[in-house]
Structure 1
Amino acid sequence: MGGDFGPRFIVPASISCLAESPSLHVVLVGQTALLEEIIARHPGVDRSRLHIKHAGEVVGTNERPSQALRGKPDSSMRVALELVRDGYAQACVSAGNTGALMALSRHLLKTLPGIDRPAMVTAIPTRTGSCHLLDLGANVDCSAEQLYQFAVMGVVAAEALGTPHPRVALLNIGTEEIKGNQQVKLAASLLQKGEGLNFIGYVEGDGLYRGEADVVVCDGFVGNILLKSSEGLVSLVSSRLEALFRSGVTSRLVGVLALPLLRRLQAELAPARHNGASFLGLQGIVVKSHGSAGQEGFQSAIRRAVVEVRENLPRRLHGRLEDLLL
């Protein structure tokens, strides 16, 4: 029921994903009457794979996590996470309040042994493919030990998603060893000692997009700003190019020729295509969709959850933590 658009886009996204994946089952958690009304607009839905679990309360966008944790036992967010905790569902995907989702996830699903805090991670497009960036906003202030844990979780996630022996870097204001704040320097020292980690040192923001690392670690304050700035830059470049192609007769002619390439580039870099940040470090799979995501964006978040279920990511993490944690 969360996000800027609620079930208006989430229901069609779920139905589209059911059509893509014959083995997928989706449970829509929320107000039954409203969900049934939206489903009715999509004839031919396989109701044997689309289920509804009623929840009468909704966590608001601006509500404090403590209010969602203690004051709304029948919220759609809590009920969805309880389905994962109880084994009825294998993953939860939500576009709702990030702080509330994190608090409820930690309370209901618990963290894996050795992990202090879960971290949000997503794949960022680069020149050479993609880079896993974490944390994206779940942890604004982080210790060096927590940054080290993020790196370990990022490595396992990258390996599970097809990157062998991923290169790990700390996001910093320079590549020199003397650069950075105390937490980053201490985290670098820990990563240098970590066996089985391919730590390559520091990377700057432009190096991330050049594909210099496969896993880039930072605190949630920096990561969230980087992510939102990247999304804004993609939108700015796309709108400026379109405006240039409409600015005159010659530009329009060039635009007609360039339009297919521009559309392809927009599709490759569109935030909707990369929507869906995983909460790594939990004893269950939780994927956070951007609150402003439309249907296509929410479909991407569901697809990410499906991949993590297939790879059994929490079990893979648990199996590697003892080997990689200091």
Structure 2
Amino acid sequence: MKIVVDAMGGDYAPKAVVEGVVMAVKECNVQITLIGLSGLIEAELSKFEDWAEFPIEIVHAEDVVEMHEAPSKVLRSKKKSSIKVGLDLVKSGHASAFVSAGNTGAVLAFATFTLRLLKGVDRPAIAIQLPTLKGYSILLDAGANVDCKSVQLFQFGIMGHSFSKYIHGKV
């Protein structure tokens, strides 16, 4: 599986993100594309002697979205951000997933405009997998929306069902 990771998102980025990515490629059968300020990413990767052997690709993105920035402003002013560039790679088929620990509102806004919503869905939702005794349960929404109508909760259920069916092959 190919996963795009926003190297500039979250606390202590890119250091913490790069460390997590290196752990992931050592333990899992994944290919990672790190998006962000390539010089900073390379500096962090160079701390690992064998990093060139890892299935890690670096794609430069010149803009960084800060945690305090309003999503509406970011959509207009940071079209070369690690978030937007990463989501464009998913849209083009370069990767199957995008991961960011950055500005949640900006990720959801860019995802909505870049990847679009499913037909019949009013809002995006954050999905998380919760471990259970029999595998995993999918929880939607884990933080994107604070004021949902009942129809939107129903839509989240449909999306969770589809996610579980596609990712785990069961519902």
In structure 2, distance between residues paired with 1:157 and 1:119: 12
1:41 partner SS: coil
Runs (5+) with no aligned partner, structure 1: 166-326
Is 1:146 the counterpart of 2:145? The answer is no
Once the two structures are aligned, what percentage of the paired residues are identical?
40
Distance 2:19 2:102 in 1: 17
Question: Distance in 1 between the 2:53 and 2:117 partners?
Answer: 34
The AA in structure 2 aligned to 1:91 is A
1:111 corresponds to which residue? Answer: 117
Partner-residue secondary structure (3-state), 1:119: coil
SS of residue paired to 1:156: helix
Matched-pair contact (CA < 8 Å) for 2:25–2:54: no
1:224 paired residue number: none
Aligned to 2:22: 15
Match of 1:72 in 2: 78
Q: Which residue of 2 aligns with 1:51?
A: 57
Q: 123, 130, 143: which one pairs with 1:124?
A: 130
TM-score of the aligned structures, taking structure 1 as reference length: 0.46
Q: Work out the CA distance in 2 between the residues paired with 1:78 and 1:5.
A: 20
| Equivalent residue pairs, number | 164
Residue 34 of structure 2 aligns to a residue in which SS?
strand
Quote the offset at 1:3 in angstroms: 0.4
TM-score normalised by length of structure 2? 0.85
* Alignment deviations for residues 178-226 of structure 1 (CA, whole Å, 9 cap, x no partner): xxxxxxxxxxxxxxxxxxxxxxxxxxxxxxxxxxxxxxxxxxxxxxxxx
| Post-superposition CA distance 1:55-108 (Å, at most 9, x none) | 111101011001110011211111111111122222111110000000000000
Determine whether 1:6 maps to 2:13.
yes
The verdict on how the C-alpha distance between 1:159 and 1:84 changes in structure 2, with shifts beyond 3 A counting, is: closer
The alpha carbon displacement at 1:42 in A equals: 0.3
Shift of 1:43: 0.9
What displacement does 1:159 show? 3.8
Alignment RMSD = 2.1
Matched, 1:93 2:99: yes
SS in 2 for 1:123: strand
CA distance in 1, matches of 2:94, 2:114: 14
Residue 45 of structure 1 and its aligned partner are, at CA, apart by: 1.9
| Aligned residue runs from structure 1 range 309-324, under 5 A | none
* Residue 162 (structure 2) aligns with: 156
For residues 234-254 of structure 1, the C-alpha deviation after alignment (integer angstroms, 9 at most, x for no partner) is xxxxxxxxxxxxxxxxxxxxx
Q: Which runs of 5+ in 2 are unaligned?
A: 1-7
* Shift in Å, 1:163: 8.1
Deviation (angstroms), 1:145: 1.5
Q: Distance in 1 between matches of 2:128 and 2:65?
A: 24
TM superposition shift of 1:130: 4.9
